Chains A and B, each alone.
Chain A
Amino acid sequence: MTGFPWLSILIALPVAGAALIMAARAMAGPAGPGVDRGVKIMALLVSIATLCVSIGVLLQFDPANPSFQLVERAAWAFGLEYHVGVDGLALSLVLLTTAITPLCILASWTIDKQVASYMILFLVLETLMIGVFCALDVILFYLFFEGGLIPMFILIGVWGGKNRVYAAFKFFLYTLLGSLLMLVAIVWMILTAGASSIPELMAHPFTANAQTWLWLAFFASFAVKMPMFPVHTWLPDAHVEAPTAGSVVLASILLKMGGYGFLRFSLPMFPDASQLFAPLVFALSVIAIVYASLVAFRQTDIKKLIAYSSVAHMGFVTMGIFSGSEIGIQGAIFQMLSHGVISGALFLCVGVIYERMHTREIAFYGGLVNRMPVYAAVFILFTMGNVGLPGTSGFPGEITTMTAAFLVNPLVAAGAALGVILSAAYALTLARKVIYGTIENPQLATIADLDSREWVLFVPLVAATLLFGLAPWIIFDFTEASASAIAQAYEAATTAIAAGAHP
């Protein structure tokens, strides 16, 4: 409670940096390349500073302790509370956020339209994302969760591609409709339980009937965020239209809010309902894996293909979470982090060639390896990660969530394992069409390999993919305490139902 306010600083730092940029921008006078560059460097420094603070948080954190740490709690306006703290689950996602954001800003170096606004929005978005994972008050969580919509909406709507307005509204409507139901549920919960603190709500025994409705309301929001079948169709459009860094942040971090929500709210607060609906989630997860993989197979736009593969990979996350077992939850968290790295990297890969050629059409490309051998190697590595090759970080999450599913229902695991075959088919076909072969398109004859900025972008992502692929225990150890706490609580609650001891 007392002590250095690590998390508050972490949450506030990006937005404070944004304010600084705003002030600096106002003083700098009319726009120009020099000013833009200064803004970019400032934004990058702010995001790096945030990363450093998050590493400081990591050093303060005791992974063996399953309870919330570095907790700060204070009264706030309107009788509400400011209440933040992290466990292994939350902190791992915070670190993902703070690590990906500097890369996103670096990836936005080529932005030349309203640079200051862009960078300010990005930093605000970072604050909101960190806030989501740190919030321990349900209202605070909701504010951060919904607040993130707005900068993302603007990023797509202003800096997006041709069809950006349609995509932005689709994204906004989908997520907002889901979230409104969640808001109603949150209000009802606070009134019923008399508390808005997440740890207290976790301890509150909601009746089975109430759980069912609350679970569905939260599900509406998180399922859209994940996104799960059949509410996934906003994602491909949003990705296609978003600027590169927007796609990265969307795939790497925003999607993880759904999985985080399931683990923070649905499973611990509504265990009975979670058990009741688990078969539905399994069915939707398997459908997502198979359906989205088959759709990905037919895409002609690189970003759409990767977007659909994201939908498929998130299917493993939901499957793992609602297995309710430690191995499933561990696997789901791992899969989220790994997907954050790999899909982010893949969208950066698309960004590299999009910036050079201004098209994402698969048919436009071909034979890139002849001109861009380093790029080709990076692309193939992340493709293999996407395929879930053992040795890359794509594998441990898939095998553990499937194992968890097998323990519950072998048919679900078998369905999900089909994704193992299908992902190889679509991902390697993409690699063949874009990377291999000869250069047929004369426009590609002079395309250049990665420059030094792009090297800096990819080196950490390559390292993370291999490190967490070969030594996944680094992450598993870190999230073990909180994952097993969630699993044990869930098991205790559901065993109690089975024994008929429920209120």
Chain B
Amino acid sequence: MMIEAILVLAPLAGAFVAGVFQKVLGDRLAMGITTALVGLSAILSLLVFIDLIWGGGAPRTIELMRFIEIGAFQSSWSVRVDTLSAVMLVVVTSVAFLVHVYSIGYMAEDPHRARFFSYLSFFTFAMLSLVTANDLLQMFFGWEGVGVASYLLIGFWYQKRTANDAAIKAFVTNRVGDFGFALGIMATFHFLGTIQFFPTEAGDVALFSAEVGGRLVDGVLHNLSHMSLMVGQWSIPAAELTAILLFIGAMGKSAQFFLHVWLPDAMEGPTPVSALIHAATMVTAGVVMICRMSELFEMAPNAAAFVTLIGAVTAIFAATVGLAQNDIKRVIAYSTCSQLGYMVFAAGVGAYDAAMFHLFTHAFFKALLFLGAGSVIHGLHHEQDMRYMGGVRRAMQFTWAMMLIGTLALIGAGLPIEGLKIGFAGFYSKDAAIEAAYAAGEGGRAFGMFAFWIGVAAAFLTSFYSWRLMFMTFEGTFRPNPHPSHGHEDVRPGAASDADLGHGADQHGAHGVDHTPSDAGPAGGSGHGRDHRTGGGDGEGRAAPAGTAPAHESPWVMLGPLAVLAVGAVFAGWFFYPYFIGYKADAFWEGAIHRHHADHHFPIWVLWAPVAVTAAGFLLASVFYLLTKGMAERIARAAGPLNAFLAQKWYFDELYDAVFVKGARALGDLFWKGGDQKLIDGLGPNGVAKAARFGGRQLRRAQTGFLYHYSFLMLAAAVLLGAFAIWAGGGLELLGG
């Protein structure tokens, strides 16, 4: 079938054309072509999805070209179509299309739009090749492909040092995960002799079973259960090892605890990027991978327990940090991190359907929240610090309404009454994850109950920080920024000078927020704002009455995508619940993921607990940020160290910098100056040369000098040989031969 090939390759074609011929085409044409091709891809994806779910289409694999074939190590460029990949096709292409459209408005003033759209489309292609892979290697290609697209998009404003650093941080942190993923691929091949997911020909050895030409070809994955790897006296079960290694990859891409540090910094990129990559699609790749390999995780209870633990810790950790962030995008970023934790622990307790369901609904409402935040940032002339917002609702009613829908979906507003279950999208999916954790805990699955309680607690925090965001942004009176930064979306002090560059300042100068002394705010330093004023100023700031935000509503090309996403955020849960989890689920999934069939009846308090804490979060946030003035600040001050701990993200950046970055530098210096220059060159060529020169002058002393070097060399050789003997003799035995 050509449709599958076109829907994957169309965005690549767009990326190529817009990237290579940007000079010839110009920005408008480049934007038009990429957007149209991604739109085509979205329509085809929808057709494939509809055909698969309602039209009686069968799961299938289309092979396009060989990739690597060495003996049994075989990988080909393929498009796998089954429910798992079809769900992702719809999510990826529809959000990507909306983000393309939105970006036409959002990036209207950027001089590098063709490059931006080329990157966006390339990302879309890489993500599609990831989700439609029929083997681990193509998945890895897509995996790293989205990584490099993310690197390019985070660093899109390349003149900004902070953006470049964030881009590298994202790529390198993801590479730590990829280290695990790559080893997981090798382990899979080592144990099973194949890395292919589904057989495409009768003779294929593949991990999972599938029908080929009317005959069922059995997968070989189950063989893992009686394999192990000997390391010393320890026998590591093959399934556990492979699952853990692959999960390390998922931790990187899905920003799980320990490897989450890149996601908040990734907000240095343009906001549409955050919506597409860092909310709706790329970060969910880890969840997709776990679900694709769900049979493997079912065979590895310890690995699954680890997945649950990490997911739950991520959910609560990110929610706590989200409480204390002031950058609107960072709050949403930590919220994403936290919600990914929900998905991961749901997968960890074996509820892959709930994980995928939450991924699905989350894509809509989180993209909505990010794009809404982008609209606010756009409307406020690139201000993104919530301390300098407030009262924006009146100027941006539509954006406010959209953000409200997104928030209600995120916190999971709804009523869990038997037979009358009704609510926003997140209500169905998040509660499904929490309930699955409870059921797993009841069933004795490790960390199930832990994940349940964490899930409830994090739901409270989610509600609190979400309403905090809404109230600080839209309600109350406008609090202008005494230190406005005209750089792209950058509010951090110190970054302003980096950001204040060529086109950034010029093009946004026209939108400069006009700071009259009266609205300069209590923090002083208002003169700074004037220095930055370039261009004419559009007068909106002056026109706005005191206390009202000098904001303007965004153009329709930006608001349209918000409206579409809002429909998803409202109805996606209600409509798709029966398919993903409910009574139609077996027919829906068609075996694409592992499903547990235990029919659970939950105590009424389990169903109500998330709703109750969500309401509590709303009430508390209202008291803090709506009804009382300054109470939040007083409490933050009173809880100084705790607040700092949260605001500084549990000091992970500082810790990693001290250990890994400084450690790598120190080791590099040690090896270079100590190893290469002193030891190897000193004893080797330079030492020999020196000794020879010396010998020419003074034979007697030369001999002793030579002896000195010689004895050192002997010693070094002895050490090396000894190490080798241990390695060759004992080491191999230890490894079990």
Contacts and interface: CB of A to CB of B under 8 A. Distances in A.
A364 to B, nearest CB: 17
Contacts of A279: 724, 727-728, 731-732
Given A331-B70, A470-B67, 17 more contacts: A173-B685, A233-B680, A233-B684, A280-B728, A295-B675, A297-B664, A399-B140, A399-B182, A400-B70, A406-B186, A410-B183, A428-B168, A432-B164, A432-B168, A436-B155, A438-B502, A471-B66
Interface string B710-737: 0000000000000110011001100100
B159 A438 contact: yes
Contact of A367 (B73, B155, B159, B732): B159
Interface string B144-168: 1100100100010011010011011
B172 A425 contact: yes
A390 B140 contact: yes
Interface string A347-383: 0000000000000000000010110000000000000
A411 interface: yes
A326 B164 CA distance: 41
A435 B158 CA distance: 9
Contact of A403 (B73, B141, B165): B73
24 contacts: A174-B685, A279-B724, A280-B724, A294-B668, A297-B668, A298-B665, A299-B672, A326-B70, A390-B145, A391-B144, A395-B144, A399-B140, A400-B73, A402-B182, A403-B189, A409-B732, A411-B231, A417-B179, A417-B182, A421-B179, A428-B172, A432-B165, A432-B167, A471-B65
Given A174-B685, A295-B671, A472-B68, A390 B186 contact: no
Contacts, number: 164
B570 to A, nearest CB: 39
A279 B737 CA distance: 12
A342 to B, nearest CB: 15
A422 interface: yes
Contact of B182 (A296, A331, A420): A420
Interface in B169-188: 171-172, 175-176, 178-179, 182-183, 185-187
A476 interface: yes
B501 A421 contact: no
A233 B676 contact: yes
A410 B228 CA distance: 13
Contacts of B158: 369, 435-437
A470 to B, nearest CB: 8
B680 to A, nearest CB: 5
Contacts of B667: 294
Given A327-B71, A420-B175, A413 B671 contact: no
A330 to B, nearest CB: 5
A391 B69 contact: no
8 A-B pairs with the lowest CB-CB distances in the bound complex, closest first: A298-B668, A406-B186, A390-B141, A294-B668, A436-B158, A295-B672, A297-B668, A424-B175
Given A233-B684, A437-B164, A428 B190 contact: no
A470 B231 CA distance: 36
A384 B668 CA distance: 22
A421 B172 contact: yes
Interface string B226-238: 0001010000000
B681 interface: yes
A327 B73 CA distance: 8
B669 interface: yes
B668 A389 contact: no
Given A279-B731, A406-B190, A472-B67, A438 B671 contact: no
Nearest to B716: A230
Given A298-B668, A437-B159, A406 B187 contact: yes
A487 B619 CA distance: 71
A399 B155 contact: no
B671 A291 contact: yes
A170 B668 contact: no
A177 B178 CA distance: 41
Interface of A: 170, 173-174, 230-231, 233-234, 236, 276, 279-280, 283, 291, 294-299, 326-327, 330-331, 367, 369-370, 384, 389-391, 395-396, 399-400, 402-403, 406-407, 409-411, 413-414, 417-418, 420-422, 424-425, 428-429, 432, 435-438, 470-473, 476, 480
B323 interface: no
Contacts of B389: none
The listed residue with most B CB atoms (<10 A of its CB), out of A294, A384, A472, is A294
B576 to A, nearest CB: 33
Contacts of B324: none
The listed residue with most B CB atoms (<10 A of its CB), out of A173, A424, A429, is A424
B289 to A, nearest CB: 15
A327 B70 contact: yes
B137 interface: yes
Nearest to A236: B676
Given A327-B71, A391-B145, A428-B168, A283 B724 contact: yes
Prevailing SS type, chain A contact patch: helix
Contacts of B728: 276, 279-280
Nearest to A396: B68
Contacts of A473: 66-69
Nearest to B155: A436
Contacts of B672: 295, 298-299
The listed residue with most B CB atoms (<10 A of its CB), out of A233, A280, A367, is A233
Contacts of A424: 171-172, 175
Contact of A326 (B71, B183, B190, B502): B71
Contacts of A283: 723-724, 727
Nearest to B73: A327
Contacts of B175: 420-421, 424
Contacts of B727: 279-280, 283
Contacts of A299: 672
A399 B137 contact: yes
A230 B724 contact: no
Contact of B183 (A233, A331, A417, A437): A417
A429 B168 contact: yes
A432 B140 CA distance: 25
A297 B664 CA distance: 8
B724 A233 contact: no
B157 to A, nearest CB: 10
A470 B129 CA distance: 13
Contacts of B688: 173
Nearest to A299: B672
A379 to B, nearest CB: 12
A427 to B, nearest CB: 10
A461 B163 CA distance: 29
A424 B262 CA distance: 15
Given A233-B676, A421-B172, A472-B68, A413 B732 contact: no
B665 A297 contact: yes
A291 B171 CA distance: 21
B69 A411 contact: no
Nearest to B145: A391
A371 B438 CA distance: 59
A390 B65 CA distance: 16
B230 to A, nearest CB: 10
B574 to A, nearest CB: 39
B22 to A, nearest CB: 9
A407 B69 contact: no
Given A297-B664, A390-B145, A410-B187, A420 B179 contact: yes
A173 B681 CA distance: 12
A230 B680 contact: yes
B186 A291 contact: no
A437 B160 CA distance: 6
Contact of A476 (B68, B176, B671): B68
Contacts of B685: 170, 173-174, 233-234
The listed residue with most A CB atoms (<10 A of its CB), out of B73, B501, B724, B731, is B73
A389 B185 contact: no
A420 B502 CA distance: 36
A411 B230 CA distance: 11
A420 B159 contact: no
